[in-house]
Structure 1
């Protein structure tokens, strides 16, 4: 496996500076935030895209993933989501995802990660939300398949898809090699699942991993080693399934000192 760091901890830095700092620490890859202030597609012209590519080349970094989850360019962390009651809002999420697929092709990335539907309200039935999410995914899959970019659903606590069972049930609606899983180790741990066991269970869906530690099952991303997750066993299970892709450390709560968080995370990884 290879290790990357997400730029969503570096929102106080430019994208090119973020790439430089992540490279200096020794990561092999970088996950790029497809949102303000880094790589929000409407803000990128060809010159800016070439600037990103040149920075990646100069710093000898590959893209582990394009993070298309948040949408601060139009709303916030979750909104507009795939399951808004307003059709126009849902269309904004669909358009953003297609824009990220097109950007991935231009940058040479292989996959993008997306939110698992969005926050739910009890006033609407779960089945209705699942229908809306499935409809949205069907709207973007043709472009993903055309561009050969994989769309990775990332289950998260308190969103439509939280658990491995909910994810696998949702995937029964689809038969595409371009719809897979962004396996967030901490997210599954938060919903009382064993990430190491799930690696074997979900191995046919896994395309990329997110890594952050968690304490007391509370959804708050911590530097690896600061929480309760057994990463040594998780890495052993990745080896067991022959995973040779990227594990991206995602520490967006550490915006005040992302370099320190990235360095401590790398030291922890090297220690085990």
Structure 2
């Protein structure tokens, strides 16, 4: 398994310090939330991107990509009925793809629940159509940057759009683009009607990226979820991507979260 961790876990830490500590603990990947760098990814200069990548690589970690793509932004929506908003959002996703490539990564995780809702009066099918219209505006940039946009199902408690892996897979099949894939998250899969290992196996053809966390919003091993069957399912489908720790509860502290999460995952994976 290749282990990564999301940088916002280390809230307030300098980027260089995050990279160094992640590497010391055994992570080889770092996943970055754009809002930790600047209000908009377009505010991060080419020179700054080069420096961030250099700091990571010199510490022994790779910036694998970006997540929380639209968090803490305004004016973007995946499912807007407004064609101008669709275009603006899709073009910003293209900007994020170029930034991920500049940083040395090839992954965009499209979660951002506040920027994806079924519009008032619209059906889920209509919302799917709006999302597809939005995503068409970034497809060329994905291919040019060689960056994969990974659609992330989220729970009904977070959004009413794209709540299951099957929902995301439907959009992926309709787009039929080689750089649009599936992202799965343990916390989010806990709301599915079938066990998490079954969701993983059923979606093997689309899966490209994976978040490890517990439904209690903490790291793997910090809750009741047994990760052994989860890692067994990933092995069964010959998953070769990253397993990235993403938490929403930052207690007790970043160092403990990072250290104990990778220790537990290695134990479950038998590595």
The reply to whether TM is greater than 0.5 is yes
Partner of residue 64, structure 1: 64
**1:211-230 alpha-carbon deviations (Å, 9 max, x no partner):** 10114xxxxx1221232323
Partner of 1:148: 146
Distance in 2 (CA, whole Å) between partners of 1:21 and 1:85 is: 44
**SS at 2:175 equivalent:** coil
| Structure-to-structure mapping, 1:58-207, within 5 angstroms | 58-72=58-72, 74-75=73-74, 80-115=76-111, 118-158=116-156, 159=159, 160-207=161-208
TM-score (norm 1): 0.87
**8 A contact 1:32–1:39 mirrored in 2:** no
CA distance in 1, matches of 2:122, 2:224: 35
SS of alignment partner, residue 247 of structure 1? strand
Count of equivalent residues: 263
- What corresponds to 1:47 in structure 2? 47
Given that 1:14 and 1:37 are in contact with CA atoms closer than 8 Å, whether structure 2 keeps it comes out as no
Q: Which moved more, 1:169-178 or 1:204-213?
A: 169-178
Please list every run of 5 or more consecutive structure 2 residues that lacks an aligned counterpart in the other structure: none
Q: Which residue does the alignment assign to 1:218?
A: none
* Residues 2-41 of structure 1 aligned to structure 2 (within 5 Å): 2-37=2-37, 40-41=40-41
Of the structure 1 ranges 202-211 and 160-169, higher mean CA displacement relative to structure 2 is found in 160-169
**CA RMSD across the alignment:** 2.2
Distance 1:243 1:101 in 2: 23
Deviation at residue 129 of structure 1 after TM alignment: 1.3
TM-score (normalizing by structure 2): 0.88
Shift of 1:21: 2.3
Structure 1: gaps spanning 5 or more residues: 216-220
